[in-house]
Amino acid sequence: MTDSPQDMLSLSVRDFTAAAAAKTPTPGGGSVAGVVGALGTALGEMALNFTIGKKKYAEHAEVHQRLAARLEKTRQMFQDLVADDIAAYQLYQATTRQDDGPDKTEAMELATAAAIDVPREAQKIALSLLRDLKELAPTSNPWLITDLLASATLAVATVRLSDYNVRINVPNLADQAAAADVKQTSADDLAKAQALLDEIEAGAKQHLP
């Protein structure tokens, strides 16, 4: 199995899960988080696609068109993160093989920053998705509410998975004050994600038996 990001994205679901299970470093948790985010977004898009263009929801047409474009872009961004995560890991792995010295110290700092930046970006994208789903939920086809809730749940899972990756990497930052700030911001984003899911679930209660 190759570590090529392009090949990873073109794998079947069966082969991707086999690759994740294999004794290889990639795809790992970060890559899986990107796929989870993309799948979550896709479910939100499905809920929207069963709503958009229907006469019953004509008054929300402008909102739906805007959200359709945003969700499509969000799904692509999550897919791109799969490649970014693999690239960040490969950079870190290559850096660890360098000879000790000032150059390696600086390279390790940059590699660590990259390993943190990818999950932080995933968290930001997932939060944006949750805000879009919160806006979509009251104006979408109620028969698709469970898919929309699944979308939001997977978005929160993406934030949580990414928080794990942030927390495991921040101790390696030389600037411990910055590390503490990044860790706290990640935790805050996780709390925001859960709060958004709670709001979406509360609004959906009327449609659930």
Residue pLDDT, tens place only, 92-115: 888 887 878 877 778 888 889 889
Give the angle subtended at the CA of 199 by the CAs of 197 and 202, to the nearest 5°: 110
Residue pLDDT, tens place only, 48-72: 999 999 999 999 999 999 999 999 9
Q: Answer yes or no: is pLDDT of 2 > 50.
A: no
Of 152, 153, 119, 115, nearest to 137 (Cα)? 152
Residue pLDDT, tens place only, 176-203: 999 999 999 999 999 999 999 999 999 9
Residues 6+ apart with CB under 8 A from 145: 47, 137, 204, 207, 208
Domains of the chain by start residue, with CATH: 28-207 (1.20.120.680)
The structure's pTM equals 0.92
